[in-house]
Amino acid sequence: MSVTSATSAKRGAYAKTPARKAQIVEAAASVFSTRGYNGGSLREIASQLDVGLTSLVHHFPSKTDLLEAVLVYADEKYIGEFDMIAHDSGMRAAVLDLVERNFGHPELLRLLAVLGTECSSPGYPGNQWFVDRYSRLREEYRARFEHDQAVGRIPARRDPAVLATMLIGLWDGVQLQWLIDPGVDMVATIGAFFDEIEASR
Amino acid sequence: MSVTSATSAKRGAYAKTPARKAQIVEAAASVFSTRGYNGGSLREIASQLDVGLTSLVHHFPSKTDLLEAVLVYADEKYIGEFDMIAHDSGMRAAVLDLVERNFGHPELLRLLAVLGTECSSPGYPGNQWFVDRYSRLREEYRARFEHDQAVGRIPARRDPAVLATMLIGLWDGVQLQWLIDPGVDMVATIGAFFDEIEASR
């Protein structure tokens, strides 16, 4: 069955495009988080939603288009109040608040972790998205740490760019340990990091 | 074709078992590191070696048997001189030495990262292996940090178990940033962590 003829024959079925697109992205996030991007198939995503493959392909012509939508969806769950708390109360408060809220959706964290490692090879689908994501995160956190230094929360002699790379690494890595073994105490570990960088030494 | 009949018919072909097993593990490591465990197939591994699927199944009856062998293979590359340097010169020297040596085989690091995230779900093949691996690593590093404290390299007031979880997290997380973007300076970032924990404050 050709995609084009199916599309024109059944256009009515695609009326509620934004809602359907959102459903597809959520189903894809669920499939990719358990099977990875490589292991997850468009067919499995379609069957989760009880729609045909043709409907899926109508909204997302390729698997990489769907990957990109899933990545944006997963990442946006992370932003929320973070910026506001970081500005008002500093990075320690913002990070620990987000860590607490994240406890409620490990599957989304696992999804970003699985896709981040799968896409880490240059030239792999999604690689550029992760290169840009981490580059943007490092710059955002650098600016936040610089602000914390300006208002006296963190001594100024530390390099805020190094603090940003350290925090992002520590957060990803301790979160992976926690995903593997929920007995790992993320709050205590990240709190101990802030104890270190807030000390005057 | 049944595995049993093929095995008895061609037993001569399996004479050099240890060498052949090692070749299969190396090919599987290569396939899993680019496609993940879910995305990599036994068929692709067999075809890389130009052997039949039956030969593969003779050595590794299931895909999870092969996964376990690949994990041990990848992890053993990590040990080497680490223990000796850690004992003689402390954790900073041992970790930075291993970081430098690891620059030469990013694909093996990527493999462990991909499999670690894929296997992070409880009940997933390989999950228990990673639970045990991280638990063992945390205990080993805790003991190493305790030794560094005993000989005066790190002030004793810090909790060595927290230092172990932090270091493993930071190392995994910064390494992921480096795998995604080789411009990330692992040595400077991990060095800055040791500057923090060695300070007396």
Which residues of chain B does CATH 1.10.10.60 include? 3-70
Q: Is the pLDDT of residue A198 over 50?
A: yes
pLDDT class of A193 with cuts at 50, 70, 90: very high
Q: Which of A80, A60, A79 is nearest to A70 (CA)?
A: A60
Centroid of chain to Cα B190? 19
State the average pLDDT for chain B: 87
Tokens of A148: 């914390």
Q: Which of B81, B39, B83, B63 is nearest to A115 (CA)?
A: B39
CB A167 within 8 A of CB A91: yes
CATH (residue range A77-198):
1.10.357
pLDDT class of A43 with cuts at 50, 70, 90: very high
CB B171 within 8 A of CB B109: no
Work out the minimum CA distance from B36 to partner chain A, whole angstroms: 7
- Taking an 8 Å cut-off on Cβ atoms, the answer to whether B117 and A120 are in contact is no
* Residue B171 exposure: Cα atoms within 13 Å on the Cβ side: 25
Of B162, B188, B201, the CB nearest to A192: B162
Work out the minimum CA distance from B85 to partner chain A, whole angstroms: 24
Tokens of A52: 């045909």
For B82-110, letters b (16+ CB in 10 Å) and e give beebbeeebbbebbbbbbeebeeebebbb
- Taking an 8 Å cut-off on Cβ atoms, the answer to whether A173 and B177 are in contact is no
Angle between helices A160-180 and A91-102 (to 10 degrees): 20
Three-state DSSP class for residue A175: helix
% chain A with pLDDT above 90:
58
Q: For B128, which residue in chain A has the nearest alpha carbon?
A: A180
Q: For A129, which residue in chain B has the nearest alpha carbon?
A: B180
Residues of chain A with Cβ-Cβ distance to B175 below 8 Å are: 169
- Taking an 8 Å cut-off on Cβ atoms, the answer to whether A172 and B171 are in contact is no
Task: Report chain A's C-alpha Rg in angstroms.
Answer: 20
Task: Return the number of other C-beta atoms located less than 10 Å from residue A146's C-beta.
Answer: 16
CB B48 within 8 A of CB B27: yes
Residues of chain A with Cβ-Cβ distance to B188 below 8 Å are: 162
CATH number of A3-73, picked from 3.40.1390.20, 1.10.357.10, 1.10.3720.10, 1.10.8.60: 1.10.357.10
Residues of chain B with Cβ-Cβ distance to A192 below 8 Å are: 159, 162, 166
CB A86 within 8 A of CB A94: yes
Task: Give the Cα separation of B161 and B145 in Å (integer).
Answer: 8
Q: Burial, A44: exposed, middle or buried (Cβ in 10 Å; 0-12, 13-18, 19+)? A: middle
Q: Is the pLDDT of residue B33 over 50?
A: yes
Task: Give the Cα separation of B83 and B103 in Å (integer).
Answer: 19
Q: Is the pLDDT of residue A110 over 90?
A: no
Q: For B126, which residue in chain A has the nearest alpha carbon?
A: A180
pLDDT at position B1: 33
Residues of chain B with Cβ-Cβ distance to A175 below 8 Å are: 169
pLDDT class of B78 with cuts at 50, 70, 90: low
State the average pLDDT for chain A: 87
Q: What is the pLDDT of residues A139-192, one digit of tens each?
A: 999 999 999 999 999 999 999 999 999 999 999 999 999 999 999 999 999 999
Which residues of chain A does CATH 1.10.357.10 include? 3-73
Does the domain at B3-70 match CATH 1.10.10.60? Answer given as yes
pLDDT mean over B134-155: 97
Residues of chain A with Cβ-Cβ distance to B128 below 8 Å are: none
Task: Return the number of other C-beta atoms located less than 10 Å from residue B119's C-beta.
Answer: 23
Q: Is the pLDDT of residue A8 over 70?
A: no
Give chain B's largest Cα–Cα span: 71
Task: Give the Cα separation of B119 and A39 in Å (integer).
Answer: 13
Helices within chain A (DSSP H only) = 3-9, 17-39, 42-49, 53-59, 63-76, 82-89, 91-102, 106-118, 127-150, 160-180, 186-198
Interface probe for B, chosen from A121, A131, A177 (most Cβ of B below 10 Å), is A177
pLDDT at position B84: 87
DSSP designation for B45: H
Residues of chain B with Cβ-Cβ distance to A127 below 8 Å are: 180
A45 CB-near residues (< 8 Å, 6+ apart): A24, A27, A28, A31, A56, A66
- Taking an 8 Å cut-off on Cβ atoms, the answer to whether B134 and A181 are in contact is yes
Of A38, A113, A199, the CB nearest to B36: A38
If one compares A81 and B175, the residue with the highest pLDDT of the two is B175
CB A171 within 8 A of CB B198: no
Q: Which of A54-63, B60-69, B147-156 holds the top average pLDDT?
A: B147-156
